[in-house]
Amino acid sequence: MRALRWAAAVSLVALFATDGFGQEVKANFVAQGSFELPAKGAPGAPDNPVALALGPDGSVHIADSRGVVHIYGRDGGKDRIYGQPRLKRPIALAVDADGIAFVLDSDLDQVLVFGADGVSLRAIGRKGSKGGQLAEPVDLALGPSGHVYVLDKGRKGIEIFSYDGTFVRDIAFGETLREPMSLSVGNDGSIYVADKRTPTHVYSFPPFTEVPWSGQTPRGMAGRVDLRGAELDEPVATTVNDRGTVVVLDKKVGRLFRKNAWDKAEIGPNDLLYGGIGTGRGSFREAVDIAFDGPEDVLILDQQLRKVERIRLTTEAELRRRPDLGFPIRVTTVAPGLSEPLLDAGVDPDGQPRFLLDMEQRGASMVAARPEPYITVYGDPVRSYHPDPATLMRNLTQDVGDVGAAVLTDSTVVIADSKRNRFAIFELATGTLVGSFGDNYQDDRKLKSPRGVAVLDDGRIVIADTGNNRVKIFSSDLASLVASYPVNKPVGVAIAPSGEIFVWNQGGTVAGKLDPNEERLDPLPPPLVPGPIAALTFDEAGNLFLLDANTHRVTIIEEGLTRVLTQAGAEGAFDKPTRLNVDHEGNIYISDEGTNRTSVYRWDVHFPPLSGLDLDYEGAVAVLKWSPGPERYTRGYEIQGADLPDGPFHAVAMADSSPYRLDPENRPESPPRYVRVAPVFTTGVRGAATEVMPLSYFTAVAAYQAGNYEDALQEAVEGVRLIDEGILDASDDVKGKILRVGFASAYALGDYRGAVPWAQRAAAIPMPRDDLIEFLYMLADMYIKLGDPREASQQILTLVGQGPRPEYYQRTEVIQQSFVIYRQLRNAGYAEDALEFVRLYTQSIPDAAPEQLRYLYEDSITVFSTRDRLGQGFESWKSANYSQVVNFFEGLLTEGGLSAEQRVITWQILAAAYYAFGRRSQAEDTYKQIYGVRSNFNLNREIPRLQKLYNLTIYNPETRQYFSNIGPR
């Protein structure tokens, strides 16, 4: 009982200490989720539990050093086991978000990977002292982007593998850490290592992408996370949450220490978090591992007390989540590779992939490359390529002694023959030898042991002339040597997409870009070069790939040669690697002369599909916005278009960043109906695109401008629907334009009734003055076509109220339209409205308009009003009812108010009527009054004028003769 009381007292001190005891409460015991393991020896019980990890479903995985992993539910209920018979002596484990378990086995010096169902999947690493091998591994952690970190005490460093086990890099401690014991990696990529020789702190390293990729880790790169009050003796476990809080377990004293290097606030006088030696709650005898469960809960495994204790930190609630490490580059190994060494990979003129394979250095075979889907360990399908001799197989062995290098172009195959001191050219289509060159010259074109060959875009051939210590460039017609540069023992040449020539020498000690002006090599930046170069090449995006002659590893350097992107491959993985190729899919081919095989790595950028595509309109500009991809690994964004929502999509434009403005100046002549955005990664590969958005406004306008009115109307209908439903975020201005396109398209198709609702909705949205004028003109014309002249006249009067420019009034169709409205109004019985319309229209004509235009309308008003006032008399005259003529026109004169034009015509008709009645004197007096109003009156001009304007014939030959002799009084 005393032991129990003492244990309880210890636990009380650990859990509820106050300032009086010198410690703030930083964690509380949590009963739910704490449990005891079955007694040792019980069926299915772990014999020697050494490590724990949390599954994504909250399950607890506990590794038994006897070679098995037990899974318990959150409440401690036994679930199942896995690992047998593969595991020998597991010492650490981690479980990813998909339930895949990574178990470090110290006897095997490997990380064994098991599926969520417990099935063995693969092994990572192997025993050894080189990069990618494990000498004395002691801990592991899973980092962001699927990388696996192994703390290797024997190599005094950290080995970092891709998710499938491809070795990426190591971080060498040098003399900084002497006895590392535990490791953890944060979501931000920060690395924490506890070392037995440093009792007061743990070491921190930045994300591995920030540690130089070659040489020893620089001094000062390893920071410190100081633990106040700690005297670590056996820091057997380290864990970190997404707040950056590091917790270290000291096995010897059974205590946990907590520190957040990013938090400036000090919690209590020291960094003791929890624990102590004892047997009760909050006490431990042989605590061996810890793990965060979320940001606040920590699980503690005690081997001797056979318990899992859960505590909840009281310090994390106010802390912010650390930003995730943005390193989306993945490297994997593609199995099974190729069974022959690869000389070059290319495509034929039809875009079909081809391989050029080495035939034991005595020739080459050109083989079709068959694409095959390859499911990576990430679960996504990628394309790898394999030789397909059944489709195409051509042996290029004629006149070739020893293949030093070879290259495929779009029309030829060029082989450097180092044994016969020449290069041979074969037709790509037929495999026929065109000729061989270099050994038959007696001048500076003569070659000696050429080992490298490349072809520039313009067809010039670049040769690494090893024996002559020169790099030579032959013209495309092979008639002349256009350049020759001194390089000591060059063995390889490669062409960057920019057209620059890169060269490396025998032994790989010199590698760089050829400077044609200075006739020298500009060496590659030393920090980027891992060691002597066996081969180098470029991908289509301009990234540089280096094959290390010593380690056999591949280093990928970003275009511009500014930084290493990643590395791939274990040290010493090949026998005699000599060539390096990259295809457009990101497959990396390493040709091994020693084994006569080609191994294949793959690199890509893995990032979730872009999201948040939004389409807005600013005037005539479509603004595309989306959530950006990883900035450092994205070259830009491809705007893709298609005529159907499910494609096929094609490139429309390239954008550097979001947003992108698609305006009438940069849009295609025939814009696509649908758009989406895809990232273009640093690999040159297009990533997963956004969702699809319709581009209805652009397509509607383009179709209308092209005269495809049915398509334009359909696009306008769709555009308005999307706007009305809130799918497209368009301003009133854009909505108005789409409505006007719909109206104009229906009008152009002759569907005037169908155009009315479009016009009504469009008219409700304000529009620029010039647009409004054209809209009202078309609207008036529509009402004319519908036989509604009154509505047409209202639209035109509204139009002229906008103050059109003078040139508007001069347009022939505008003049014709105004008179059509007048005639239709008259014919519909609105004579007074018709005349008023013309009067108001005439008043709107600006002073800057030509005078003759105003005269035209003023004369028209005169004629129109005269017809209205004298029309009844005209009809009486035409029916020869002279008594009615006399009564009507005498009445008008008595009434008064006649215009000059009306009086002149009235006097003429009255005079002619008086003459018909034989009242010659009265006829002459009446006729003479005309000259008082119009002194220049001329009967010969008046007769055709009356006929033209009024369809009126007053004079016959007799009366014409009579009245022509009457002059002014």
Give the closest residue to 859 by CA, choosing from 809, 904, 901. 901
Q: What is the pLDDT of residue 39?
A: 93
**Bond into 336 cis (ω within 30):** yes
Q: How far apart are the first and last CA of the chain?
A: 153
Q: 881-890, long-range: CB within 8 Å, 24+ apart, which pairs?
A: 882/913, 882/916, 882/917, 885/909, 885/910, 885/913, 886/910, 886/913, 886/914, 886/917, 889/913
In tens, the pLDDT along 219-235 reads 889 999 999 999 999 99
- Pick the more confident residue, 12 or 67: 67
Instruction: Output the CA–CA distances (angstroms, integers) from residue 753 to 306, 758, 760, 785, in the order listed.
Output: 86, 10, 12, 10
Q: Name the β-bridge partners of 105.
A: 90, 110
Tell whether the torsion through CA atoms of 736, 741, 742 and 744 is positive or negative: positive
Q: What is the pLDDT of residue 695?
A: 84
The region of weakest confidence among 5-9, 35-39, 85-89, 771-775 is 5-9
Task: Tell me the average pLDDT across 634-644.
Answer: 92
d(CA 668, CA 700): 13
In tens, the pLDDT along 701-739 reads 888 888 999 999 998 998 888 888 887 777 787 788 889
pLDDT band at 289 (very low <50, low <70, confident <90, very high): very high
In tens, the pLDDT along 445-493 reads 999 999 999 999 999 999 999 999 999 999 998 889 999 999 999 999 9
In tens, the pLDDT along 792-843 reads 999 999 999 999 999 999 999 999 999 999 899 988 989 889 889 989 999 9
pLDDT at 22 over 60: no
Q: What is the pLDDT of residue 159?
A: 97
Q: What is the pLDDT of residue 737?
A: 84
Q: Which tokens hold the place of 714? A: 């359909």
Task: Tell me the average pLDDT across 83-103.
Answer: 97
Encode burial over 107-121: b for 16+ CB neighbours within 10 A, e otherwise: ebbbbbbbeeeeeee
Q: What is the pLDDT of residue 662?
A: 84
Q: What is the pLDDT of residue 24?
A: 80
d(CA 924, CA 966): 7
Residue 384 parent element (H or E): strand 381-396
Report the length, in residues, of the chain: 969
The residue with tokens 């005349």 is: 835
Give the closest residue to 139 by CA, choosing from 119, 115, 121, 157. 157
Encode burial over 785-812: b for 16+ CB neighbours within 10 A, e otherwise: eeebbeebbbbbbebbeeebeeebbeee
pLDDT band at 23 (very low <50, low <70, confident <90, very high): low
For 721, list phi and psi in degrees, rounded to 5. -60, -45
Mean pLDDT, rounded, of the chain: 91
d(CA 105, CA 102): 10
Contact between 137 and 152 (Cβ < 8 Å): yes
pLDDT at 91 over 60: yes
pLDDT band at 19 (very low <50, low <70, confident <90, very high): very low
Q: Where are the beta strands (DSSP E) in 265-380?
A: 272-275, 287-293, 297-302, 307-313, 329-338, 342-347, 353-358, 364-375
Q: Where are the beta strands (DSSP E) in 3-67?
A: 27-36, 49-54, 60-64
In tens, the pLDDT along 130-153 reads 999 999 999 999 999 999 999 999
Give the closest residue to 322 by CA, choosing from 204, 220, 162, 177. 204
DSSP annotation of 319: P
pLDDT band at 969 (very low <50, low <70, confident <90, very high): low
pLDDT band at 214 (very low <50, low <70, confident <90, very high): confident
- Pick the more confident residue, 398 or 436: 436
pLDDT band at 318 (very low <50, low <70, confident <90, very high): very high
Q: Name the β-bridge partners of 364.
A: 358, 396
β-strand pairing of 587-592 with 433-437:
unpaired
Contact between 657 and 639 (Cβ < 8 Å): no
Walk across the sheet containing 481-486 and list its strands: 450-455, 461-465, 470-474, 481-486
In tens, the pLDDT along 896-939 reads 999 998 999 999 999 999 999 999 999 999 999 999 999 999 99
Q: 640-646, long-range: CB within 8 Å, 24+ apart, which pairs?
A: 640/675, 640/676, 640/677, 640/678, 640/689, 641/668, 641/671, 641/672, 641/673, 641/674, 641/675, 641/695, 642/672, 642/673, 642/674, 642/692, 643/672, 643/673, 643/674, 644/673, 644/674, 645/674, 645/692, 645/694
Task: Tell me the average pLDDT across 398-423.
Answer: 93
Q: Which tokens hold the place of 446? A: 């003569």
pLDDT band at 599 (very low <50, low <70, confident <90, very high): very high
Q: What is the pLDDT of residue 615?
A: 83
pLDDT at 510 over 80: yes
pLDDT at 167 over 50: yes
Q: Name the β-bridge partners of 342.
A: 357
- CA quadruple 111, 115, 121, 125: dihedral, nearest 10: -10
Q: Where are the beta strands (DSSP E) in 156-207?
A: 157-161, 167-172, 180-185, 191-195, 201-205
**Bond into 85 cis (ω within 30):** yes
pLDDT at 671 over 70: yes
**Relative orientation angle of helices 939-950 and 957-964, to the nearest 10 degrees:** 130
* Region of residue 152 (phi > 0: left; psi between -120 and 50: alpha; otherwise: beta): beta
pLDDT band at 672 (very low <50, low <70, confident <90, very high): confident
